Amino acid sequence: MRIVGLDVSRSMAEIAYLEDGVLRAGGRAGLRREELERFAASLRSTDHVVLEATGNTAAIVTVLRPHVTRVAIANPLLVRLIAEARVKTDKIDAAVLAQLYASHFLPEVWMPDEPTLALRRQVSRRSQLVRQRTRLKNEVHAVLAAHLIERCPATDLFGRKGRAWLSAQPLPMDERLGVEQRLRELDRLGEDLR
């Protein structure tokens, strides 16, 4: 069995091969899809590939998995704790991943299937939209506080009654335009959330 360690960056992967206890450098592979597919085609069906979890791990695993026996994904925080080195280079990191895997000491993470990944992306986007809406609402409240305007008597400042009350408040024109822009953005984000 050959173990292929990949130290992955945004656009490049440093490669190390560990076979029969012998470690050798494997150069680099680009991480554009066609470059990665060329590298994957050069792998053996009996190879085990190991890489750390990063932002592009799912895409890399999708390309590599059909060509090898197994793709293992390492927990980057735990790998750093285990293999803290004074000299740290991509070549060393790729070799360390292969050696940790070979010694059965690699802290692995679970790789979700595509439906789970899609759900995670959707939840993440929704969370971002909610944070953006909260920020916009806080900005409107800050404008009101900066101009010493009392709290809205309506339960929801951003509901129909609250917006009617808000439009009647004495705000300078630049602030009024800013509040209206934020309200339009809130409405757009609300549509995206729905």
CATH code assigned at 24: 3.30.420.40
Q: Do 22 and 64 fall within a single domain?
A: yes
- Conformational region of residue 172, where left means phi above 0, alpha means psi within -120 to 50, and beta covers everything else: beta
CB 133 within 8 A of CB 189: yes
% of the chain beyond a pLDDT of 90: 86
Q: Do 97 and 179 fall within a single domain?
A: no
Residue 52: inside a domain: yes
Higher pLDDT, 81 or 24: 24
| pLDDT(91) > 90 | no
Among residues 57, 79, 102, the one where a domain terminates is 102
Q: Do 94 and 123 fall within a single domain?
A: no
Residue 38: inside a domain: yes
Total domains, the chain: 2
Residue 84's pLDDT band, with cuts at 50, 70 and 90, is low
| pLDDT(79) > 90 | no
Q: Do 136 and 158 fall within a single domain?
A: yes
Angstrom distance (rounded) from CA 90 to CA 194: 44
Non-local CB neighbours of 158 within 8 Å, separated by 6+ positions: 137, 140, 183, 186
Angstrom distance (rounded) from CA 83 to CA 48: 20
Among residues 102, 131, 150, the one where a domain terminates is 102
% of the chain beyond a pLDDT of 70: 95
Question: What are residue 30's phi and psi, to 5 degrees?
Answer: -75, 155
Q: Do 97 and 76 fall within a single domain?
A: yes
Q: Do 120 and 98 fall within a single domain?
A: no
Largest CA distance in the chain: 79
Residue with tokens 């609402």: 137
Among residues 52, 75, 102, the one where a domain terminates is 102
99-131 pLDDT, tens per residue?
999 999 999 999 898 899 999 999 999 999 999
Strand order in the sheet with 2-8: 22-30, 12-19, 2-8, 48-52, 70-74
Residue 93's pLDDT band, with cuts at 50, 70 and 90, is confident
Residue 88's pLDDT band, with cuts at 50, 70 and 90, is low
The domain in which residue 160 lies consists of 114-193
Residue 95: inside a domain: yes
Residue 107: inside a domain: no
Residue 78's pLDDT band, with cuts at 50, 70 and 90, is confident
